[in-house]
């Protein structure tokens, strides 16, 4: 598959794809005798992994570390698992933050819907930008 086809399939720019290869987010891609990148199915899998991890907010350096570990072989299973666990924890935190913001928006929408009906805007609840902490009982 050519770079143009990969870029079209995944809606990414050639610059992004070249950057990913340059910084190790995807391994070096085989080139034809004319020095044209020729993406194999394995390369496509690496591109998909990179896009997935970047869409999840994983820093480029961490994606590159994961790729490096994969290239080192089976003895890196533990390190790869730990890296992916760290990624998962970050995504869970993002989801929790988005959930709090969604709840805030839902509340505001409900207050405005009520105000449209009654002619009075009433805020009967406060929201904090800080994550809620669990209170421990003594």
Predicted confidence (pLDDT) per residue in 53-78, tens digit: 999 889 999 999 999 999 999 999 99
Q: Is residue 100 part of a domain?
A: no
Question: Residue 110: inside a domain, yes or no?
Answer: no
| Predicted local distance difference test score (pLDDT) of residue 56 | 87
11 is a domain residue: yes
pTM of the model: 0.73
Round to whole Å and give the CA distance between 80 and 68: 10
Report residue 34: phi and psi, to 5°: -90, 10
pLDDT in tens, 118-137: 999 999 877 666 655 544 45
> Is residue 51 in a domain?
yes
Q: How many domains does the chain have?
A: 1
115/109 Cα distance (integer angstroms):
10
Parent domain of 29 = 3-72
CATH number for the domain including 29? 1.10.1660.10
Average pLDDT, the chain: 91
Tens-digit pLDDT profile for residues 77-97: 999 999 999 999 989 999 999
What is residue 135's predicted lDDT score, i.e. its pLDDT?
Answer: 46
Helix (H, G, I), strand (E, B) or coil at 9: helix
């Amino acid at each position: 598959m050519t770079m143009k086809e990969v870029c079209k399939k995944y809606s990414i720019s050639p610059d992004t794809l070249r950057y990913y290869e340059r910084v190790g987010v995807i391994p070096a891609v085989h080139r034809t005798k004319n020095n044209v990148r020729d993406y194999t199915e394995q390369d496509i899998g690496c591109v998909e992994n990179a896009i997935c991890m970047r869409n999840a907010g994983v820093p480029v350096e961490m994606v590159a570390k994961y790729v490096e570990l994969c290239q080192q072989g089976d003895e890196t299973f533990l390190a790869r698992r730990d890296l992916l666990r760290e990624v998962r924890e970050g995504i869970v935190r993002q989801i929790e933050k988005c959930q709090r913001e969604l709840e805030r928006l839902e509340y505001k929408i409900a207050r405005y819907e009520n105000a449209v009906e009654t002619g009075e805007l009433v805020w009967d609840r406060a929201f904090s930008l800080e994550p809620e902490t669990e209170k421990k009982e003594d």
